[in-house]
Amino acid sequence: MSCTSSSTSLVPDTVRSTPMTGSAALALARLAQLDPGGRWANRPDRSLNQIFLPWRPQTTATPDERLAVIEMLRRRAAPQVAWPFLAGLLPTPHSISETSHQPRWREWHLDYRPPQMGVAEWSRHAEVITGWLLEGAGLTGTHWADLIARLPNLPEAQHDLILDHLRGLDPGAFDEADRDAVTGALRTLVRDHRRFADAPWALPAERVDRIEEQLRRFQGTDTAQDLAWLFANYVELPDPGSRDAAAEQQAVAQRQEEAVRDLIADGGISAIWELAARCEAPRLLGFKAGRVTADLDEIVIAELDSEDQGCREAAMGWSAGRFEAAGWPWAAQHLDHADTWLAPRAAAFLRSLPPTARIFDWADRLGPDVRAHYWEKAPVFLIQEDADGNAQRVPSSSSAMRPTPWACSRSPSSTATRPTRTSSPKH
């Protein structure tokens, strides 16, 4: 057993005793700061939370004495310990309490039962903790995201207090990452309570409207920063949910295509590259852009061998989208002069198209360098089979140099991975 784990089992004995509650709690906070993490359940931060849970405290300290200790920890504990400790004391659904280690040489523990909090005492506790959290939130996006996520479970007064403080902040004062964190938390909350408005846990519509008002303030206009969420591996719109999954996915696709049209109209291809650097699925972004725009091919194809991964992925998605929209006539007009491209660019263009015998032939025709680059990262899991169960390959004079699909999938140099539902467009 580690030193941290052993200490965590012993310190709660001392915290139970009122005269030493403060010093023992501070010791636990310091252990939490030093804790390297691990698989033991009784980590210092967990023990600290369990001792001061308002609905089942495991100390003989009175409510006022507990609040005094909590306030001391707020001031003296490291910020990375103090914030989650305080936030963990707010009402949380499905939270559990585990009985901590019992003192061995104290007679009082035999009859001790954790006191039950009344409604008024619970409300006062939530009010005090919320006030302290708001004092320490500052312009830290993760702190505000934490408070926003807890809005549905707070008493009405604290719910309104947090929204009032948020309304008083200037979104432009936040750093980019912090503003993204706030926007993401607001969007998730609005999405969940709009989509499941008839659920017992859903907030009333007027409260969701107030939260959405802050979402509109923080997300601003349709810039790359505010559209990144729309190009992820899984997207749910912050609108009332539908039981028709196909219709819902169609609505997502329509929203994405409208977004790229507006983005290109306002900022050109530079706006696409900027968004590609920010979003989770740049290839999906490129795919949608390729489907709706036809006059930027040369600029985009030039990025197929870019050193920037976001641009490279978006360019491959673009080629896939253009192929889906315009088919082989579009691809052929570019492949006819692909012998003037560098091998990595030509191979990337081929990999962005469906892996069929026609593509394999083009890899052969463009020379050994292109063929080697193509098969190094070829999407072998998308190769179709003919009626006899054989991979669609056309023999050529160089077929002996072409690895079989299963060899590619086992090759250490292959970096192909099976995509998630939206990470790679289907052809």
Residue-range domain boundaries for the chain: 1-137, 140-220, 252-410
- Sign, CA torsion 14/19/21/27: negative
What is the Cα Rg of the chain in Å? 29
Separation CA 419–CA 233 (nearest Å): 9
Q: What is the DSSP letter of 352?
A: T
What single letter denotes the amino acid at residue 342? L
φ/ψ (deg, to 5) at 391: -65, 145
φ/ψ (deg, to 5) at 385: -110, 150
pTM higher than 0.85 for the full model?
A: no
End-to-end CA distance of the chain: 54
Separation CA 305–CA 348 (nearest Å): 7
Question: Residues 283, 230: contact at Cβ < 8 Å?
Answer: no
Separation CA 166–CA 148 (nearest Å): 9
Q: How many CA atoms lie within 13 A of 301 on its CB side?
A: 24
pLDDT of residue 107: 61
C-alpha distances (whole Å) from 93 to each of 82, 156, 162, 201, 230 are 21, 16, 19, 10, 29
Residue (of 184, 182, 175, 206) closest to 193 by Cα position = 206
Separation CA 384–CA 354 (nearest Å): 9
Tokens of 418: 């099976």
Separation CA 222–CA 241 (nearest Å): 23
Tokens of 310: 């976001």
Q: What is the mean pLDDT of each run of 10 residues along the chain (427 residues)?
A: 44 53 85 81 82 82 86 89 90 77 61 68 88 94 95 92 95 91 93 88 93 89 75 83 78 90 88 91 94 88 93 95 93 93 95 91 94 89 58 40 32 35 37
Write the CB contacts of 361 (distance below 8 Å, at least 6 apart in sequence): 394, 396
pLDDT of residue 83: 92
Which 3 state secondary structure label does DSSP give 385? strand
Separation CA 39–CA 288 (nearest Å): 43
Which residue is it, tokens 């998730």?
A: 188
Tokens of 293: 């725009």
